[in-house]
Amino acid sequence: MYTTSFIRRHIFMLPKDAVFTTRDFLNYGSRAAVDKAVSRLVKSEEIIRVAWGVFIKAGSKMPDVATVAMVKAQSFGRTIVKHSTDILKGLGFSQTLEEGQAALEEDGNGKRGVENILKFSTDGKSSSFSFAGWKVQFISVTPRKMQLSKTKAGQVLLALWELGKDLCSPQVIEQASRTLYRTDKEEVRKSGRLMPAWLACNWIY
């Protein structure tokens, strides 16, 4: 009873369109008590479950998928960043990426992606959840890749790394380098130790 009251008061103090998680309430009681209280609030339609463990107040506008992903990751103390496949698409390499995926499928080593999948790189464990027709994937990556993701130059390198040695031709690397300013290219030089050898050797400075 007290757990429900504390959680209800907490929710009341939140901004109208706030997105929150079950883990935000763990200081109000045991996990079992918190889960039971939250379930009761969902049934009474005081809050709306938008994804597993993620909620909004009744009457709030539905959050976008990126916001839900960020809130869910933060609740577990994870950092998430744009995945290298999305960076590739932003650089205009969608067709090259699709060709590579098709080649993998022909070899029997991969599968075609499913529509409405949003990927994030994370410093935590890999996991996934569903939200409003989306499948959101948190993909665990190495500390090297997380460090590269902090800068524009590093994100471009990650995209090329994702593309792979066989598809990363000199022409592709040159096209990617055109998206960078002089200061970004200096950052590329500093990031040499974080790149795989094949990419470091082929990068056009």
Q: How much is the pLDDT for 183?
A: 86
The pLDDT score that the predictor gives to residue 98 is 54
Q: Give yes or no: residues 92 and 190 share one domain.
A: yes
Range of the domain at 104: 80-202
Same domain, 174 and 147: yes
**Pair 50, 95 in one domain:** no
Are residues 58 and 99 both part of a single domain? no
Asked if residue 138 is part of any domain, the answer here is yes
Q: List per-block mean pLDDT (blocks of 10 residues) for the chain, which spans 205 residues.
A: 92 95 96 96 97 96 96 95 83 58 45 68 94 94 90 87 84 83 83 84 66
Q: Count of domains in the chain?
A: 2
Question: Is-contact 28 10, C-beta < 8 A?
Answer: yes
Is the domain of 109 the same as that of 174?
yes
Establish if 75 belongs to a structural domain. no
Q: In whole angstroms, how far apart are CA 89 and each of 13, 33, 93, 134, 163?
A: 40, 45, 5, 18, 11
176 in helix, strand or coil?
helix
Indicate the burial class of 167 (C-beta count within 10 angstroms; 0-12, 13-18, 19 or more). middle
Residue 70 lies in a domain: no
Q: Which of 20, 35, 63 is the last residue of a domain?
A: 63
- Please state, in angstroms and rounded to a whole number, the distance separating the CA atoms of residues 133 and 195: 35
Please list, in sequence order, all residues whose beta carbon lies within 8 angstroms of the beta carbon of residue 63, skipping any fewer than 6 positions away. 17, 19, 50, 56, 71
Helix (H, G, I), strand (E, B) or coil at 76: coil
Q: Is residue 90 part of a domain?
A: yes
